[in-house]
Structure 1
Amino acid sequence: MADTDFTLIIGNKNLSSWSLRPWVLMKHFEIPFAEKMIRLDQPDTRATIKDVSPSGLVPCLIHDDTHIWDSLAIAEYLAELYPDQHLWPRGQKARALARCMASEMHSGFSSLRGTWPMDFVKEGKGLWGGPGVRKDVTRIITLWEDALERYGASLGGPFLFGRFSIADAMYAPVVSRFRTYGPLRVSEPIAEYLEAMWTLPAMQEWGEGARKEADAGWYRG
């Protein structure tokens, strides 16, 4: 498919975990897009977002006259537009597992998200949280270990299904949270996966944007 006129509406790079997901996916697969950032937690934030996103939330992908206002829906839309890119893993069973994992991230892990809001530029806070966070972390690591064991190495590693995919993009904010609120003791395969995700060029580029926000004095404390 030829280059397409996409605009991706996002929130602050240090704070907006949902914005990170489609952004890192599009950057990694070199899908061209214009970026429009709306600063969160401002008096006019809600009204400004509502002008461009039907849900009043970010992210929102605008393609011609179509607005897609959900991270997973954006990923699915792009997978349909760019089938040769294989945004989902190759192989029916691998795709089924990847979709289950992405959907579980999309709808679950409320304790982790509520207790550990994304703070991309911070590391090593050492805030573990209560049993709900522990349960979420344990479940996420179990999912990762299963995918890595069944598909990661056999499909060329180092990501959950060998090549970077939508499943990895959906868990990118969790990688950030583990660095922010850890350190966590994890197995070697999980440590290697976390490192591969963190050093992904698209993740590093997002981090540069988050640090620029911090340097500009957007965040205190």
Structure 2
Amino acid sequence: AICEYLAEAFPDARLWPEDPDLRALGRGAASEMHAGFRALRLECPMDLARPVEAVALSDEAQADIARVRALWSDLLARSGGPFLLGNWSNADAFFTPVATRFRTYAVEVGRPELAAYMDRLLTWPDFLEWEAAGRLET
């Protein structure tokens, strides 16, 4: 709801793409992220201060990871990248926390284009500012 409000309140920010097909796909992916991936969330909680270390993951978490990979692959292929819907969008905001989990728990994304996408998310200046503020919390 917050992302939809911001997209409507600040249309010049282009938080969703103009292309209606990409916009619909992005909203669907964001909804899936918002409501799904329970095992991944439980087994790999977001913790920016945690040292990078792989953990054993259940079959359910592995299935969540496979679904994220599939979503990322499909959207990057459809949009041409460099972000899920071409330019940075609300969809990327939804998946940045997943990228931090993948980094923290040393989850391999497999394909080079997925690693490059994850790197773009984790080096995006707005994310770096947010991450630095988050690391100051105790």
Task: Pick the TM interval, shorter chain.
Answer: over 0.9
CA distance in 2 between partners of 1:123 and 1:187 (Å): 24
Is 2:64 aligned against 1:136? yes
**Structure 1 or 2: larger helix share?**
2
Moved more, 100-109 or 201-210: 201-210
Q: Which amino acid aligns with 2:44?
A: W
- In structure 2, the gaps of 5 or more residues are none
Alpha carbons 2:17, 2:23 under 8 Å: kept: yes
Structure 1 residues 149 and 117, CA gap change in structure 2 (3 angstroms): same
- In structure 1, the gaps of 5 or more residues are 1-72
Is 2:112 aligned against 1:184? no
Aligned to 1:112: 40
Aligned to 1:86: 14
Is 2:76 aligned against 1:76? no
Superposed CA offset, 1:54-89 (max 9, x none): xxxxxxxxxxxxxxxxxxx00000111111221111
Alignment of 1:149-164 (within 5 A): 149-151=77-79, 153=80, 157-164=81-88
Number of residues paired by the alignment?
138
For residue 202 of structure 1, the aligned residue among 105, 119, 126 is 126
How far did residue 121 of structure 1 move?
2.7
CA distance in 1 between partners of 2:135 and 2:34 (Å): 26
Superposed CA offset, 1:158-213 (max 9, x none): 11111110000011110100011114151010010000000001111112112222
For residue 98 of structure 1, the aligned residue among 26, 34, 57 is 26
Alpha carbons 1:106, 1:170 under 8 Å: kept: yes
**Structure 1 or 2: larger strand share?**
1
- Which structure has the greater CA radius of gyration? 1
Superposed CA offset, 1:104-156 (max 9, x none): 001110001111110113342111411011000000010000000110x2xxx
CA distance in 1 between partners of 2:89 and 2:50 (Å): 26
CA distance in 1 between partners of 2:56 and 2:16 (Å): 32
Q: Percent identity?
A: 43
- Greater than 4 Å deviation, 4+ residue runs: none
SS of the aligned residue for 2:55 comes to coil
* Higher relative contact order (CA closer than 8 Å, sequence separation 6+): 2
CA distance in 2 between partners of 1:185 and 1:108 (Å): 19
Structure 1 residues 101 and 127, CA gap change in structure 2 (3 angstroms): same
Q: Using structure 2 for the length normalisation, give the TM-score.
A: 0.94
